[in-house]
């Protein structure tokens, strides 16, 4: 079983390791597309393997295995449930489209064997984080992902902008990784195990030995876990690297960063918190589901509100299209953190209440659904920004007015993506925000929760306004002199954009099919796997 679970990661890492050999073969055969073909084939094969694993997870509930020779409490565990396979499919799907887009977009660059090798390594690291059942394994894959993303942000090292952004990202992310590592060490010091489910089990047995409001090491561990992973998740005030990284990175990598890399941060954070720091109260007849032992939901709600509000203020001040989209990504990470925060807050403050659990599941479902919605919508828009830069050679919003008229296929596709992220009914982007807001407003007795949600509603209306404003600038305004001679981007660049816009529509049409998948992923999170 361990081999089956690891096949997707093995395929990607093996392909990444073979890139230097592929480069030599290209020179011998005088065929310059081998590396692109290998990267695309590897990611497509990985996606097929993940879909196969998904079918098996649906049948068996979850897949669990240890590396040979290791078992609890020190075993390196691979644990695949509905949530982890859901995340892995998103990671691989966006990676595949980024690779296809790169065919023409990156053809003027050199060192593409390194580029595609790093792209495959980045994707494998994210899938490994999703599949990790223990904190050691998670941290190893986390570093694999981070190191790859640093290198890709600064890939165009002949530009000072890329070097500066890569160094800033490296510095901040390294500090975040060290903070989270210290939190992991505190957890190990308390429980003498790194397996997330084993930690929860030991916590359940030990909970009668302490008051849940007076556990300093555990409180510190939670703080370090949240702060450490919040850097990669780009939550305010740990977000400052992202607006610099996006303009500097190639558009395909910007799509990966906003589409999936920052989601890995919020996934790792929520997976550790909900799995390891929640336990079923012993002897409780009223609560049959795990209850957080620490009120980390309050922290996530505050971070979510701050992130959405501050980033919303910054979005409209941007003149650079990619910085505009970067701050928009920060806003959407705030929604996801807020949704998970509502779930944890309700479970902590109202344990055993069925109504509270249903609202918690609703908010968490909204957050998990928004991970998908934002991954698709924002990847679409960053790839579209790459099409614009490829044809118009500028990212200045004032200079690309009316470019949608000159590039109608990608222009219409980008408009669908913008409406999707704006939450315009009946698109799927509306329903994920609606579920989060419904979870917050459904418990009227809690004034803090209701007040926080009202702030989110106001922010949502404001955000919809600037998305519609961008559609107007791109599609409805008269073309500027800069874009008069612009034409549609090459097919390999247009195709991923059109596919993603089609997915936006399909998600809306197939909501009755999507919702049960989201519900299973939500229960996998709230019930500890």
Question: Does the pLDDT value for residue 195 go beyond 70?
Answer: yes
Q: Mean pLDDT for the chain?
A: 89
What share of the chain in percent tops pLDDT 90?
A: 63
Backbone angles phi, psi at 278, to 5 degrees: -130, 145
Give this prediction's pTM: 0.94
Question: Does the pLDDT value for residue 125 go beyond 50?
Answer: yes
In order, the DSSP letters of 244-265 are: HHHHHS-HHHHHHIIIIIHHHH
Question: Does the pLDDT value for residue 282 go beyond 90?
Answer: no
Could you tell me how far CA 339 lies from the centroid of its own chain? Answer: 14
Helix axis angle, 112-131 relative to 19-29, nearest 10°? 150
Backbone angles phi, psi at 132, to 5 degrees: -65, 130
At 442-472, the pLDDT tens digits run 888 889 999 999 999 999 999 999 999 999 9
Question: Does the pLDDT value for residue 73 go beyond 70?
Answer: no
Cβ-contact 464, 427 below 8 angstroms: no
- Would you call 480 helix, strand, or coil by DSSP? coil
Q: How far apart are CA 104 and CA 114, in angstroms?
A: 16
Q: How far apart are CA 528 and CA 277, in angstroms?
A: 9
Which of the two residues, 202 and 20, has the higher pLDDT score? 20
Q: What is the pLDDT of residue 285?
A: 47
Secondary structure in 3-state letters for 148-206: HHHHHHCCCCCCHHHHHHHHHHHHHHHHHHHHHHHHHHHHHHHHCCCEHHHHHHHHHHH
Q: What is the pLDDT of residue 371?
A: 96
């Amino acid at each position: 079983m361990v081999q089956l679970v690891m096949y997707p990661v093995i395929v990607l890492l093996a392909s990444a390791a073979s890139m230097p050999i592929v480069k030599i073969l290209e020179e011998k055969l005088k065929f310059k597309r081998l590396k692109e073909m290998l990267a695309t084939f590897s990611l497509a094969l990985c996606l097929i393997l993940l879909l196969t694993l998904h079918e098996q997870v649906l049948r068996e509930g979850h897949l669990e295995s240890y590396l040979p020779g290791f078992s609890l409490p020190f075993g390196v565990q691979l644990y695949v449930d509905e949530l982890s396979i859901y995340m892995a499919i998103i990671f691989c799907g966006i990676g595949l489209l980024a690779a296809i887009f790169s065919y023409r977009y990156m053809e003027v660059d050199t060192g593409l064997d390194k580029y595609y090798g790093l792209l495959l390594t980045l994707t494998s690291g994210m899938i490994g984080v999703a599949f990790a059942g223990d904190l050691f394994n998670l941290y190893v894959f986390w570093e694999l992902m981070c190191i790859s993303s640093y290198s890709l942000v600064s890939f165009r090292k002949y530009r000072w902008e890329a070097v500066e952004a890569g160094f800033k990202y490296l510095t901040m992310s390294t500090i975040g990784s060290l903070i989270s590592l210290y939190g992991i060490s505190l957890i190990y010091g308390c429980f003498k195990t790194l397996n997330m489910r084993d930690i929860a089990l030991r916590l359940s047995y030990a909970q009668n030995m302490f008051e849940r409001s007076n556990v300093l090491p555990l409180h510190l561990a939670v703080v370090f876990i949240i702060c450490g992973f919040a850097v990669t998740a780009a939550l305010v005030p740990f977000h400052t690297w992202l607006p610099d990284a996006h303009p500097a990175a190639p558009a395909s990598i910007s799509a990966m960063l906003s589409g999936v890399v920052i989601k890995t941060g919020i996934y790792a954070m929520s997976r550790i918190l909900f799995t390891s720091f929640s336990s079923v109260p012993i002897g409780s007849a009223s609560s049959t589901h795990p209850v957080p032992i620490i009120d980390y939901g309050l922290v996530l709600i505050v971070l979510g509100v701050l992130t959405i509000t501050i980033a919303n203020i910054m979005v409209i001040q941007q003149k650079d299209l990619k910085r505009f989209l970067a701050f928009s990504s920060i806003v959407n990470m705030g929604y996801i953190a807020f949704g998970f925060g509502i779930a944890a807050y309700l479970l902590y403050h109202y344990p055993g209440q069925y109504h509270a659990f249903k609202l918690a599941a609703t908010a968490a479902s909204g957050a998990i659904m928004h991970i998908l919605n934002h991954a698709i919508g924002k990847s679409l828009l960053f790839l579209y920004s790459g099409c614009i830069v490829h044809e118009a050679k500028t990212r200045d919003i004032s200079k690309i007015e009316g470019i949608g008229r000159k590039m109608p296929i990608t222009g219409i596709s980008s408009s669908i993506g913008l409406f999707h992220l704006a939450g315009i009914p009946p698109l799927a982007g509306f329903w994920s925000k609606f579920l989060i807001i419904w979870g917050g407003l459904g418990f009227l007795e809690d004034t803090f929760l209701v007040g926080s949600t009202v702030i989110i509603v106001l922010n949502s209306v404001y955000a919809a306004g600037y998305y519609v404003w961008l559609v107007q600038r791109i599609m409805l305004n008269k073309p500027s002199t800069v874009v008069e001679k612009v034409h549609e981007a090459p097919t390999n660049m247009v195709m991923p954009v059109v596919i993603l816009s089609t997915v936006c529509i399909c998600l809306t049409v197939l909501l009755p099919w999507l919702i049960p998948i989201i519900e299973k992923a939500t229960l996998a999170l709230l019930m500890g796997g």
